[in-house]
Amino acid sequence: MARRQIKTALNTRLSTFQKIYLLLIAGFILGPFIPLIIQSFAFRWAWPDMLPSTWWLEQREKSLLPLAWDYVLSPYSRVWEATINTVFIGSVVTVICLAICLPAARVLAREKFRGKAAFEFFLSMPLIVPEAAIGIALLMIFISLGLAGSYLGIIIVHLIPTIPYMIRMLTAVYQGLGRDFEEQAMILGASRWQVMRLVTLPMLLPGVVAGALFTFLVSTNIFLLTFFMGQGKIITLPTLLFSKIAGGTLDASAAGITLVVTIPGIILLLITERFIKEEAFGKGFGN
């Protein structure tokens, strides 16, 4: 009896409830994409049909591409413009964020100093103060500085929500690194530059890549700050999609744009899974 109890308590396999739960969650996460994909290929899909009454395939002679995709891929939808803006802003934000966070993370991981706890708290403040508050307040300042509606303005505000993530992930990397290897290299006669180039950087690299990818991801997903600062002049994928669905309805072209907006996330997911290990993420957020 006792042994059976221990066995059930330590079961490493799924219970029936958990199996059903995993399936339900998978359906909850992925299920809505099915009608979205169908919608983007439909020619005519009226309520209450479960499937389109006329598919694009049957109406091929009328348009070469599915109607929705024809629009999405054309310059009129501004999808290309938004994609390029999103990638450009994300890359610049990532580089700046990395440059200012790397030295700070090194200190935070290795030094003890007065006011360290307060400093760390200050660095995570942007995660806690509502984005709308910061966005509207900064918009006032940026309008008077002429930064509203410019790339520079958007890049600067993107630093606010990305810094806390970058700092946490890089600090975790430095903590895992330890000083031993660097010290050994120095004892063996390596110069500072050699230590940096041959020991620290190679060991740091996977963590830095993870932090950079995550920062890029956060930046590409920001809606509110881009929407406020972009002033409709600069659009990114999230703000473009917002303008298409703001009325609360979703036509075929909006479905197509939704799918396009999903693609960078899928690409990043495939890349990050290799670099961002659950354990590393836990060090950043589990405390």
Partner 1 sequence: MWVQLMPVLAVLSVLFGGALVLAVMQSLGFAPWFGVNTFPDLSYFGALWGSWSFWQSLGLTLYYAIVSTGIALVMGILLALAMVRIFPGKSLYKYLYKLPLMIPYTVGIALAVIMLGNGGMISRIFAFVGLIGDPSEFPQILKTHYGWGIITVYVWKQTPFVTLTLYAVLLGVGRETEEAAAILGANKRQIFFGVTLPQILPGIVSSTLIIFAFNIGAFEAPFILGGGYPDTLPVVAWRYFNDADYTLQLQGMATVVSLALIASAILYSYLAFYRSFERRIGRN
Residues 39-58 interacting with partner 1 (rule: CB under 8 A): 39, 47-50
Query: Can you read off the two tokens belonging to residue 46?
Result: 């009226």
Q: What CA–CA distance (Å, rounded) separates 132 from 135?
A: 5
- Strand 54-55 relative to strand 42-44: parallel, antiparallel, unpaired? antiparallel
Interface pick for partner 1 out of 160, 199, 204, 235 (rule CB under 8 A): 160
End-to-end Cα distance, the chain: 38
Q: Which of residues 83-122 bind partner 1 (CB under 8 A)?
A: 99-101, 103-104, 106-108, 111, 113, 119, 122
Considering beta carbons, is residue 87 or 156 the nearer one to partner 1?
A: 156
Considering beta carbons, is residue 75 or 286 the nearer one to partner 1?
A: 286
| Residue 202 touching partner 1 (CB under 8 A) | no
Residue range at the interface with partner 1 (CB under 8 A); choices 5-13, 55-63, 65-73, 177-185? 5-13
Q: Which of residues 205-234 bind partner 1 (CB under 8 A)?
A: 217, 220-221, 223-224, 227
Considering beta carbons, is residue 189 or 247 the nearer one to partner 1?
A: 247
| Residue 201 touching partner 1 (CB under 8 A) | no
Q: Is the peptide bond before 48 cis (omega within 30 degrees of 0)?
A: yes
Compute how many other C-beta atoms are within 10 angstroms of the C-beta atom of residue 40.
Answer: 23
Interface pick for partner 1 out of 81, 87, 92, 283 (rule CB under 8 A): 283
Smallest gap from Cβ 247 to partner 1, in A, equals: 8
Compute how many other C-beta atoms are within 10 angstroms of the C-beta atom of residue 83.
Answer: 18
| Residue 29 touching partner 1 (CB under 8 A) | yes
Q: Give one DSSP letter per residue of 194-232, joined into a string.
A: HIIIIIIHHHHHHHHHHHHHHHHHHHHH--HHHHHHHTT
User: CB of 19 within 8 A of CB of 27?
Assistant: no
Interface pick for partner 1 out of 82, 89, 93, 134 (rule CB under 8 A): 134
Considering beta carbons, is residue 199 or 244 the nearer one to partner 1?
A: 244
Smallest gap from Cβ 61 to partner 1, in A, equals: 28
Q: Which of residues 247-276 bind partner 1 (CB under 8 A)?
A: 248-250, 254-255, 258, 261-262, 265-266, 268-270, 272-273
Smallest gap from Cβ 111 to partner 1, in A, equals: 6
Helices (H), 63-200: 67-73, 79-110, 116-128, 131-145, 151-177, 180-187, 192-194
Interface pick for partner 1 out of 42, 67, 72, 123 (rule CB under 8 A): 123
Considering beta carbons, is residue 61 or 278 the nearer one to partner 1?
A: 278
Closest by CA position to 103, among listed 186, 170, 197: 170
User: CB of 174 within 8 A of CB of 109?
Assistant: yes
Interface pick for partner 1 out of 5, 75, 118, 232 (rule CB under 8 A): 5
Considering beta carbons, is residue 31 or 184 the nearer one to partner 1?
A: 31
**Rg of the chain taking only CA atoms, in angstroms:** 24
Q: What CA–CA distance (Å, rounded) separates 159 from 154?
A: 9
| Residue 27 touching partner 1 (CB under 8 A) | no
